[in-house]
Amino acid sequence: MILRSDSSVRPVDVWLAAVAGCALAGLGIARLTLSLNTHLSSSRADLFWLHLDFLLVYTAAGAVLGGFAAAGTTLLVRGVSAEGLRRRLAVGWVVSVFLAPLAYLLLLPDLGWAPTYLSNFLGAAPARRAGMLAVFVVLLLAAGQLGAAVLDLLRRRGASPRILFGALSLGIAVLVCWQVPGSPGPVSAETLLPEGPAVELSAPAEPPLPLVLLCVDGADLDDVVEPMVEAGELPHFARMMREGTWGPLATLNPTLSPVVWTTLATGKAPEEHGIHHFLHFRLPGVRQAIYEFPLHTGWNFELFPWLEKIPGMPVLRAPYTSDMRRVEALWQIVGRLYPVGSYRWLLSWPAEEVHGFSVAGGIGWAQLGLELDGELREESKRHSVYPPGLRLMPPKRRELTDAEIEAFAGEKLNPGDPRLKPLQSSLADPTSRELPLLIRQYDTRFTAASFYPVDAYHHLFHAYRGRGGLFSGAIAEAYRQTDARLGELLAALGDDTRVILVSDHGFDFENGHHTHGPAGLFFARGPGFEAGHRVEGLSVYDVAPMVLRLLGMPLPDDMPGSRSEGYRKALSRDFLAASEPLHVATYETARGGSHESVESPNSEEIKDVLKSLGYIQ
């Protein structure tokens, strides 16, 4: 029995403390998961299985961790001759083992107690990570000794150790139940969307100038683009700065690319548009899809890959698909009046029926097409373009030259080296050649397009940056390639096309991740923007209403950026003075959607891409 009245503490006491602490933490994480997925509360069966799954998994984890902790009990007190001190150390160890999983629960970013600790720990260099872990262990051991002192004092005054430990467990459980449900959670789209019929629109006699919205995944303004522009290495970014408006673009926190890209395209918060991650999840027994787990709980990183290997286990992770988005995107809104295009926008598979063209986009290198076999390949192709039969350019594959390899890697490598794959992908990107042809073919007034992502370079090569030698210049080369493709695209589009170039986030090079929302970038040129103007205070919520305002369409009041009018900071005074925008309640014609899990035919290939970038294991 844990904390018996006599003076001994057995290894089984430590084991039981670990199991009890992990079980409480599991229930707390289950409640936090529920607060992030409020739709699960509509089913009693889903509620039951959600809590049972977490309880079983964390209890099992506690059993394993408890075994290691119990083995360390003897080592902890070995060499201590004083019985009182030996007992104090042993009891403190029991308390520390019990508190460890609960401390982990309270460190989860979604609770807000220490929102950056775990993210920075996981992204830190080994030496810094060891230091952060040492601080955590020391504080935990100190808390254990403090708890042991309190328990010992109360025991001397006649209190039962078992009752004391039960009271401590109950107190922790109350803390968990009090804190976790108070965490910020989503409100259903059904309650956020205003009531009212769809707006009726009429096109003006003179159509607006074409507008192209380009998103460069992960492009960083402060640490990369501005310094390289000042050094004369990015002439086309420099041209955008001279001829138009530019500045930082605040993003979402936590920063997950599919979530931010969908906010850019819809002007809505994740709670409304319904996209919460790269993958959505299933748990055994839970019928509805789980959109979001608490950050750093390990479920989507370490646990699911192992569970999926169990014979007979159903698919537990599947990429989000475009039909899981629960609100309309810009290409659907603008498409009510004008021809539009959607070109390889992140998370746009399957391709949607639009008034114009749609080319589905995947994730990471999957933007350029996945190598599928047999029926899966044909199924993916059928849903990759609209209208059916739309012919696309094949990727322009070629062997890399020695100069290209050396500029990227810093030394000569075998052209078949797999580390050269991102460079080959960037050179094969057809956007600058193919997109202008599609825009002219369909005479689109608005086109949203994915531009070659540099985010993969950040994740793969940030540790080499600035150190000299192998791959130290890989990130800079990615930006040079992006700048070259941007120049080709600007030349093909001409000066009569408005171009808005954004990124979904920047990169935290010090900590090696972008979890906590480093700002992206905003560049825009063409009528409606002032030349050489740096703008501050824009966010990803301002892009969609800005597009609608430039196209002369009514602004919906259910877009946060439309209500705040933050987008006005980027537009020229002359443009704003020329007319006042109309407002409507909403463009939405449907409310909510199914929460059933949907799986695309290229799920496994997309998961492989995410593994290569470190998003999942």
Same domain, 502 and 604: yes
Domain boundary among 144, 164, 182: 182
The predicted structure's pLDDT at residue 368: 34
DSSP structural state of residue 290:
B
Same domain, 307 and 455: yes
What is the Cα–Cα distance from 331 to 446, expressed in whole angstroms?
7
Phi, psi of 342 (to 5 degrees): -130, 120
Specify the length of the chain in residues.
Answer: 617
The predicted structure's pLDDT at residue 599: 52
Give residue 129's Cα distance to chain centre: 22
The predicted structure's pLDDT at residue 595: 59
Residue 494 lies in a domain: yes
Render 411-439 in DSSP notation, one character per residue.
Answer: S---TT-GGGHHHHHHHH--HHHHHHHHH
The predicted structure's pLDDT at residue 613: 46
Same domain, 178 and 288: no
SS3 82: coil
The predicted structure's pLDDT at residue 165: 61
Same domain, 309 and 456: yes
441-476 per-residue burial string, b: 16 or more CB within 10 A, e: under 16: ebebbbbbbbbbbbbbbbbbbbebbeeeeebbbbbb
The predicted structure's pLDDT at residue 82: 60
Same domain, 239 and 327: yes
Q: Which has the closest alpha carbon to 505: 341, 298, 346?
A: 346
Same domain, 275 and 171: no
Same domain, 371 and 502: yes
Tokens of 79: 């060499």
- Its pTM stands at 0.76
Residue 210 lies in a domain: no
Residue 405 lies in a domain: no
Residue 48 lies in a domain: yes
Residue 276 burial by Cβ neighbours in a 10 Å radius (0-12, 13-18, 19+): buried
Residues 331/358, Cβ–Cβ less than 8 Å: yes
In the chain, how many domains are there?
A: 2
Residue 617 lies in a domain: no
Task: Tell me the one-letter amino acid at 479.
Answer: Y
Tokens of 139: 């504080």
The predicted structure's pLDDT at residue 178: 52
The domain in which residue 168 lies consists of 11-182
Same domain, 123 and 250: no
Residue 131 lies in a domain: yes
Residue 587 lies in a domain: no
Same domain, 458 and 344: yes
Domain boundary among 116, 150, 182: 182
DSSP structural state of residue 572:
-
List of residues 6+ apart from 340 with CB closer than 8 A: 330, 331, 334, 354, 355, 356, 444, 445, 446, 447
The predicted structure's pLDDT at residue 219: 95
Domain boundary among 113, 148, 182: 182
Same domain, 512 and 602: yes
Same domain, 248 and 378: yes
Residue 187 lies in a domain: no
List of residues 6+ apart from 392 with CB closer than 8 A: 359, 385, 430, 434
Mean pLDDT by 10 residues, the chain (617 residues): 49 86 90 87 88 91 88 65 69 87 88 82 82 90 84 69 62 56 39 48 80 96 96 97 96 90 96 85 85 79 74 77 88 95 90 93 47 46 82 76 85 80 81 94 96 85 85 92 94 94 94 87 96 96 97 94 95 92 85 52 54 49
The predicted structure's pLDDT at residue 72: 73
Residues 248/523, Cβ–Cβ less than 8 Å: no
Among all chains, which residue has been given the structure tokens 């009890």? 20
CATH number of the structural domain spanning residue 243: 3.40.720.10
Same domain, 168 and 237: no
